[in-house]
Structure 1
Amino acid sequence: MGLVPVAAMLMALLAPTTAQAAGTTLTVDVGTVVRPVTHVAAGGLYGVDTGDKPPSSLVLPLHPNTFTQPPPGTQQLGNGATTPCCDGLQVANRVTQLGAQQYLRLPDVFSTFPYNWVSWSDWESKIKQMITARVNATSATNIAGYEIWNEPDCNWGESTKNDPNAGSYLDMWTRTYRDIRAIDTTTPIVGPGACVYDHGFMLGFLTNAKNTGTLPAVAVWHELQDFSYQNVQAHVADWRAIEDSLGLPHIPISINEYASPGQVDIPSIGVHYMASLERAGIHDAERAYWYESGTFDGLFWNNAPTASYWAYKWYGDQSGNVVQTTPQSYLDGVASYDASRKQVNVVFGGDSGQNTVRINGLGALGSSVSVQLSSTNTTGRMTNQTAPNVLSTTTYQVVNGSISIPVSGMSAEAAYQVLVTPTTGATTWQQRYEAENATVVNAQRLSSGTASGGGYVGRIDNNTDMRTDSFVDFVVNVPTARSYTMAIQYANATGATATQGLAYNGGGFSTVSYPATNGGWGNPNGTVSVSVDLKAGYNVIRLAKGSPYFAGGTGFAELDAITLS
């Protein structure tokens, strides 16, 4: 629901949507880790609705990271809707079941966009109602932040043109921030939600926020023009430079609307955003809401997958660590390596004709590997694709740790996947899940040379309030419904037994005990095993220091990974 300047819209209509060059190479370096897999780009604005729209069984494989949803009491009729959609508190249970978090976009309480602002007294009354509703929703653990305003650089004046007392946007930010904190001192506040990244606007915003003690917990802006993915890294660098110039710490960044109306449904454009957002170190990003709500912004049509869905499904299948990709021309992609599975997953696209994917650092997979090459169709949001196209399955000899995979007849609009596994000994289903790949709430992803995959989750400390409870949600996929043994790798340097709560698929909690370990924090050499009864397919497993319906854990424990067997 972004507001794109008229000039940008004209450029979008005139510009080519994809590259026309060919004969390029995407290079993947399995040995160079970028960051843990967290599916940064797997989010949506108004992405889910109540009920089963879109179906949870099809959303779970996408491993959604974060949604931006309208606030409690929303009257927003976006994009021609006849009834308000997907109140964040009404969909909170669904978002939790999907292993995700969400921001509440507060101005979407209004019915129109640009917003039909009435007066300060009306706005502050709405703020009180919305924030109080969230505080009273004691089972909702997934509210990652309040977004004070949407696209103020493009619509604040338009929204308030009939109210001479509305004041400046910066004054509105400060006043509303304080109104929220008078009711809720805990839930993060995010902003500014700019429609276009602009250095001067961001400098003015951050300077005012510093001077008034109203700094956001998460920086938010949009990347909505054609080929905006090319600018993400430069914009992040500029934001970081502003933080440094003002003596401020670096905060997480959310691009909570990305892709233009003409490009959001092109599979390869989604891949370009995945690659650029991962490289830039973005915390989360949400597909833009230009058309129908509750469709994960075009990944579903009539509750069934579209072509773009499969690009995001491959991205959702990534696990372990994001590894370095080096694009050439318009050929780009995002790649992961899961050492426990010895699997390389490359999602790519953007160029036409004959191109190549070269993968280096494959020594751990043996002297030969199996490579499956697949593609999406090039259809948009109103055409379903029931499954990806498997183009070939080929055995490659690994030479000096490398293979080169020719990809012929590429469409610049389609997305592609290369999945590399050993020719022998490959696991048929994922058994090990790293904590740093999971949904981490009110805790921290940390690095350690003794942790599997190089990362773990620590500071899982809080158990007193649904807004600050600390927990880790693992989304797992198992082949059959049965009882599984779940081994938890952990560290506990307290010298005494610690406990956490264990629940799965919304069921009741049991208690897991973690005896003290040797070696100190960040050295997860302890293992405990418990039994979990899982359904076939996707399940969400929560390990919590604190959570609704759980009295709270004792002591402290860090989580490295879980293994199902």
Structure 2
Amino acid sequence: MDLNGEQNVAAITFPDTGAWDKWNTVFRTLPLSAGSNMLTLRTEGTGNGICLDYFYLWKAAGEPVLTSIRFTSPTILVEPGKKTSATVEALYSDGSTAALSREVRFVSSDEQVAFVDPGGTIIGIAEGSATITALYRQYTATVTVRVEVPVLTVDLAHTYRPVTHVASGMLYGLADEGRPADEMIAAIKPKNFTQMAPNGIHLPNEESTPTGDALKVAPIAARHGATVTIRMPDIYPTFPYRWVSWEDWYAKVTSMVKATLNSGATNIYAYEIWNEPDWTWNTAKAGPFTVGWKRTYDLIRALDPNTRIMGPSISQYNENFLRIFLTYCRDNNCLPDIISWHELGGPEGPSTPYIKEHIARYRQLEQQLGIPPLPISINEYGAQIEEGVPGYMVQYFAQFERGGVDTANAAFWFRPGRLSNLITDSGEKNGGWWLYKWYGDMTGMMAMTTPPSRGMTLGLDGIASIDPDGQMARVLFGGTDGEAVIRVKGLLAYPFFGEKVKVRVEATPWYGVDTAVDEPYLLFEGAFDVINGEIRVRLRGLKRSWGYGMTITSFDGMMREPDPIPMRYEAEDGVVNHAVVWQSAFASEGRYVGNIDFSDSYVEFSAVRVDTDGLYQLEIGYANGTGSPSTHVVTINGKSSVTVTYPSTGGWINAVPNMGNRKTVTVVVQLKAGDNTIRFAKGKGFAELDYIRVVGSALSSPDE
């Protein structure tokens, strides 16, 4: 036997077992290294053969030995139709543990409730409980799996703050007069805008001219009851900022403050001294940020003793940075009037569930440092793939409202003057605008919401309000697929609701940033008996990217039929072969298929249903950033095929800046009554595929 390249470390003799179907074992002690080892068995000139089945490794005498196994969670929760993973670990005689990933077998006590595959992936099938058993050698462990529909609980009797539309702000949401139109701004009742420094020359996201000067748009914000934050470093032309000198910075700050004072603006929320100093401050040239903050703070206060100062506006919550910053500011009399940081998602995706923890830890930090509670401004929120998407944005609303934040501004990843992607490239309302409009409709007091327990993962969440004067409760929610229950309790605290209430539920879809949505869809209106002061509204067919609005009033006997919802077939939900599913706020449902680049690449849609045989118009959402026409070969039911040509769209779906790169084409196809299978395969050039939709017969015009 050779070990790690060293020959003849050990010799093994395999005794005769008497027959080929009889087995025995032999043992050898080997000096193995931590990590990977290579064992090589070589014959030594004998003509006899062996059948080798397996080998086990375990530590020699005196080393810890395996005593049992266990699941890492005492109970596992999973939703119907969703997946989760079961993790098993080994326990050793010295109290240590180690994860087990191989040779563990899993068995479900009831596969009609919860199915488990060989790798430990658990799939919720139907509501109920099941026991999952793990088997490893002679050891076993069990865990209870509960399959539950997620429940968002609203307690109308527990109000916690007045409605102020905390999260309705935007970064560079205003460009100039008319961009966006006043009617687009008014309905969402924005609280705050963060805008470019006065007389700045900043060119954000490759804009060709400066836009969104704070003092020029302040009157627009004031018309709609909003305040403006002045982002001072945006007086520089580029981001990241290019520091010149302290003399230059002093002159710029002096100019900005004097311009603000001379403007007569009365709705300035704060001066924001710097933006994301944790990576954009030039310590080598400007010195430590804390010292730079103090020098700038003192200059502003000498010129303007009244307007509030905000900071440090770091790119993400960083407790060590904040501790150093606040300790210095406390000791040097330069504490900000408003504390700020950004919540832009983690390095691997959105991180909304962490916001609650960040706020709580920050408040603890204030107490530790003896600093009175400061207003919190999350002056940029939302990852690039989330911007404007209702199902994501409502989860931020919930965290900021419950967390007691003063203002929160949606980030600016693409174009200015579009209310952070709530308006299409042609200036129309998209699905995200309607969510913010519903938010703006809230009045009265915020009522406490409790999302389902799910750890640090995204999912169902929402906000609620109660207005006794208007005799109405509102609930906004989203973030999950499939089924959910909205439990509303505390109704007895408001006698005007009576014993029966009317519930109206609407949906605002997400078809991509640049797809207009004229009106939300009415899902249903119904009467619910109030039992023990509460109602439970079960909803099915929810979509993770959509937003949902519920209103609750006393029952008036009037009901309206639900709206028909056009059927879209999403590329990412089809069979995707040798291609990649990507996320983007510019895509329908927030996802699309790209890299359809190979001879065997295709996307196949099944169950495309029509009522009768015939020719139909098929709308295709796509992007082609090649600069030249591209094609896909479209096969219908494995037989007939047609070539669809995609004109260039000027860029790809997730391009920055994005000039409406997701476009549509329509092609005529022959479909049969019932379900059809439609496959898109690579043709000439390259194109990304977002969705398809049957919009009408070949002799009719599209239905929207």
Is TM (by shorter chain) over 0.5?
yes
Match of 1:192 in 2: 312
Within the candidate set 271, 277, 295, 1:152 is matched to 277
Is 1:260 the equivalent of 2:383?
Answer: yes
Q: Structure 1: how far apart are the matches of 2:399 and 2:158?
A: 16
Cα–Cα, structure 1 residues 20 and 283, in superposed 2: closer, same or farther, change >3 Å?
farther
CA shift for structure 1 position 367: 1.2
Letter in 2 for 1:204: I
Asked if the contact 1:264/1:270 (under 8 Å) is kept, the reply is yes
CA shift for structure 1 position 49: 2.0
Is 1:203 the equivalent of 2:323?
Answer: yes
CA shift for structure 1 position 425: 11
Match of 1:346 in 2: 475
Match of 1:421 in 2: 553
Could you list the per-position Cα deviations for residues 207-259 of structure 1 after superposition, in whole angstroms to 9, with x for gaps in the alignment? Answer: 11111110000001000013332111211112111211121110100000000
Provide the aligned length of Structure 1 versus Structure 2: 402
Is 1:126 the equivalent of 2:252?
Answer: yes
Within the candidate set 388, 392, 398, 2:530 is matched to 398
Cα–Cα, structure 1 residues 356 and 165, in superposed 2: closer, same or farther, change >3 Å?
closer
Asked if the contact 2:311/2:339 (under 8 Å) is kept, the reply is yes
Match of 1:376 in 2: 508
Q: Secondary structure at the match of 1:99?
A: coil
Could you list the per-position Cα deviations for residues 69-102 of structure 1 after superposition, in whole angstroms to 9, with x for gaps in the alignment? Answer: 1111111101110001110100111010010111
Letter in 2 for 1:166: A
Within the candidate set 416, 435, 445, 1:321 is matched to 445
Is 1:230 the equivalent of 2:356?
Answer: no
Match of 2:202 in 1: 76
Could you list the per-position Cα deviations for residues 457-511 of structure 1 after superposition, in whole angstroms to 9, with x for gaps in the alignment? Answer: xxxxxxxxxxxxxxxxxxxxxxxxxxxxxxxxxxxxxxxxxxxxxxxxxxxxxxx
CA shift for structure 1 position 20: 5.0
Asked if the contact 1:20/1:412 (under 8 Å) is kept, the reply is no
Cα–Cα, structure 1 residues 84 and 244, in superposed 2: closer, same or farther, change >3 Å?
same
Match of 1:169 in 2: 289
% same residue: 39
Is 1:290 the equivalent of 2:413?
Answer: yes
CA shift for structure 1 position 118: 1.0
Q: Structure 1: how far apart are the matches of 2:369 and 2:152?
A: 38
Match of 1:534 in 2: none
TM-score, structure 1 as length reference: 0.69
Match of 2:697 in 1: none
Q: Structure 2: how far apart are the matches of 1:20 and 1:86?
A: 44
Moved more, 223-232 or 33-42: 223-232
Match of 2:432 in 1: 308
Unmatched 5+ residue regions in structure 2? 1-80, 84-147, 559-704
CA shift for structure 1 position 402: 1.2
Is 1:409 the equivalent of 2:541?
Answer: yes
Q: Which structure has the highest helix share of the two? A: 1
Within the candidate set 236, 242, 245, 1:110 is matched to 236
Letter in 2 for 1:295: R
Q: Structure 1: how far apart are the matches of 2:229 and 2:389?
A: 26
Letter in 1 for 2:360: A
Q: Structure 2: how far apart are the matches of 1:327 and 1:393?
A: 24
CA shift for structure 1 position 23: 1.9
Q: Structure 2: how far apart are the matches of 1:75 and 1:325?
A: 43
Asked if the contact 1:266/1:379 (under 8 Å) is kept, the reply is no
Match of 2:218 in 1: 92
Letter in 2 for 1:267: P
Is 1:219 the equivalent of 2:348?
Answer: no
Q: Structure 2: how far apart are the matches of 1:412 and 1:146?
A: 37
CA shift for structure 1 position 380: 2.4
Within the candidate set 328, 336, 345, 2:465 is matched to 336
Moved more, 260-269 or 76-85: 260-269
Asked if the contact 1:308/1:380 (under 8 Å) is kept, the reply is no
Asked if the contact 1:275/1:334 (under 8 Å) is kept, the reply is yes
CA shift for structure 1 position 326: 1.0
Letter in 2 for 1:317: D
Letter in 1 for 2:304: D
Q: Secondary structure at the match of 2:503?
A: strand
Match runs of 1:539-554 below 5 Å: none
Q: Structure 1: how far apart are the matches of 2:557 and 2:327?
A: 56
Asked if the contact 2:243/2:285 (under 8 Å) is kept, the reply is no
Q: Structure 2: how far apart are the matches of 1:407 and 1:315?
A: 21
Q: Secondary structure at the match of 1:305?
A: coil
Q: Structure 2: how far apart are the matches of 1:186 and 1:326?
A: 39
Q: Which has the larger Rg? A: 2
Unmatched 5+ residue regions in structure 1? 1-18, 427-565
Asked if the contact 1:20/1:351 (under 8 Å) is kept, the reply is no
Could you list the per-position Cα deviations for residues 138-196 of structure 1 after superposition, in whole angstroms to 9, with x for gaps in the alignment? Answer: 2x101011000000002113xx6xxx441111111011111111211111111000001
Q: Structure 2: how far apart are the matches of 1:381 and 1:411?
A: 17
Q: Structure 2: how far apart are the matches of 1:80 and 1:69?
A: 16
By relative contact order (CA 8 Å, sep 6+), the higher-ranking structure is 1
Q: Secondary structure at the match of 1:126?
A: helix
Within the candidate set 157, 170, 190, 1:44 is matched to 170
Asked if the contact 2:388/2:433 (under 8 Å) is kept, the reply is no
Cα–Cα, structure 1 residues 20 and 181, in superposed 2: closer, same or farther, change >3 Å?
farther
Asked if the contact 2:505/2:522 (under 8 Å) is kept, the reply is yes
Q: Structure 2: how far apart are the matches of 1:77 and 1:382?
A: 23
Letter in 2 for 1:108: D
Q: Structure 2: how far apart are the matches of 1:165 and 1:340?
A: 58
Q: Secondary structure at the match of 1:34?
A: strand
Q: Structure 2: how far apart are the matches of 1:361 and 1:265?
A: 32
Cα–Cα, structure 1 residues 425 and 38, in superposed 2: closer, same or farther, change >3 Å?
farther
Match of 1:280 in 2: 403
Q: Secondary structure at the match of 1:242?
A: helix
Match of 1:508 in 2: none
CA shift for structure 1 position 400: 1.7
Q: Structure 2: how far apart are the matches of 1:360 and 1:245?
A: 37
TM-score, structure 2 as length reference: 0.56
Q: Secondary structure at the match of 1:336?
A: strand
Q: Structure 1: how far apart are the matches of 2:200 and 2:519?
A: 36
Q: Structure 2: how far apart are the matches of 1:100 and 1:265?
A: 19
Asked if the contact 2:504/2:552 (under 8 Å) is kept, the reply is yes
Q: Structure 2: how far apart are the matches of 1:257 and 1:379?
A: 24
Is 1:53 the equivalent of 2:179?
Answer: yes
Match runs of 1:505-516 below 5 Å: none
Q: Secondary structure at the match of 2:502?
A: strand
Letter in 1 for 2:171: L
Match of 1:547 in 2: none
Q: Structure 1: how far apart are the matches of 2:499 and 2:333?
A: 58
Moved more, 235-244 or 40-49: 235-244
